[in-house]
Amino acid sequence: MQIYDKNRPYINRQTLIDIKQLSLSATIDTTKKMVENIYKGKFLCPMLCRGRKKNAEQFSPYLLTSDDVEYVLPIFTNELEINRCKEDFDEYTVYLCDFADILGIYTALAKSLPISIVIDPYGTNFILTKEMIDIIREIGLRTKI
């Protein structure tokens, strides 16, 4: 996990392509490919760091709330997507995170909150349910990326 450097723009093209492909043809193969690529990908995530250690418990991510009173951890594929709501979290620092880091933060939050993850909440708005997150975690354990 590192602080996002705006001078080196980042885009997670593969996740954008996979989400588009899944919307056109939702097959087992396209879904499997997408979750594997999500685990391998990097995402932008606005967070506050509460200490010098860089473990999941030290980070307070920016959270959204959904209509059913669930908390949502927003992650972004590129700077354009994050800029759609940047004014909502001006005091937060944007980090470039591996999905493994995001899983650690999600797991720490899920101990006390009903929570899900959403990719590009103001764009594609692709929600990762608990079941999908569990599958992605299993892929990560199997592949040890």
Q: In this structure, what token pair is assigned to residue 138?
A: 């299993």
pLDDT band at 145 (very low <50, low <70, confident <90, very high): very low
Element (H, E) at 91: none
pTM metric for this prediction? 0.84
Tell me the backbone φ, ψ of residue 73, rounded to 5 degrees. -90, 110
d(Cα 62, Cα 72) in Å, to the nearest integer? Answer: 9
Q: What is the pLDDT of residue 51?
A: 66
Q: What is the pLDDT of residue 95?
A: 92
Q: What is the pLDDT of residue 43?
A: 95
Contacts of 14 (CB under 8 A, 6+ apart): 37, 40, 41
Domain that holds residue 112: 2-143
Q: In this structure, what token pair is assigned to residue 36?
A: 């594997």
Element (H, E) at 61: strand 59-61
Q: 40-49, 107-116, 134-143: which range is least confident on average?
A: 134-143
Structural domains in the chain (count):
1
